[in-house]
Amino acid sequence: MTKLTISREIQAPPEIIFSFVISERMNDVWGEWMIGKWDSKGPVGVGSVGHFDTRGMLANFGKMTGTVTEFEPNKKMTMHSQDAKGKIDTYDTMLLEPTSTGTKTTYVTQYNVPYSVFGKLFDKVKIRKDMEAMHVKMLENLKRIIEA
């Protein structure tokens, strides 16, 4: 699995960031790449399922399904996502750590690429860079929206 870790300081308490992240307002953050909707009834927690229509650089993956696998309110949430064709398999974790001026917000993404040796080579040359740039922009979008 390839692992990416991106962090930004956001000038808000973890509770505000976490409540935003588990809401469908996250579409304002990642709308360039996907639009999601929670399908589970009740509050978000372990076992909650969301469906995502991919766009932009992720459009080849089509519809994705994500299931929350870890959930610590105001601290951590992990979602395991897969597309229907088996091309993508990711674990995305958001970590929130209070600081003296706000919250250190970290995305940790772990993913497998298909196509064995060719896929791993392509990951090193292109996919990892694109994924990193996408996650940097997502965190910058989140920071801009939360701090507005």
Per residue in 70-121, pLDDT (tens digit) is: 999 999 999 999 988 777 788 999 999 999 999 999 999 898 766 666 566 5
Rounded distance between C-alpha atoms, residue 130 and residue 23, angstroms: 25
List, in sequence order, every residue forming a beta bridge with 112; answer none if it has no partner.
89
Per residue in 28-64, pLDDT (tens digit) is: 998 888 999 999 888 999 999 999 998 887 777 789 9
The helix (H) or strand (E) run that includes residue 98 is strand 89-98
Does domain 2-147 match CATH 3.30.530.20? yes
34 and 145 Cβ atoms separated by less than 8 Å: no
Angle between helices 128-147 and 14-21 (to 10 degrees): 120
Rounded distance between C-alpha atoms, residue 56 and residue 142, angstroms: 18
Q: Give phi and psi for 115, each to the nearest 5.
A: 75, 30
CA–chain centroid gap for 24, Å, is 13
Token pair of 40 as six digits:
């589970």
Per-domain boundaries in the chain: 2-147
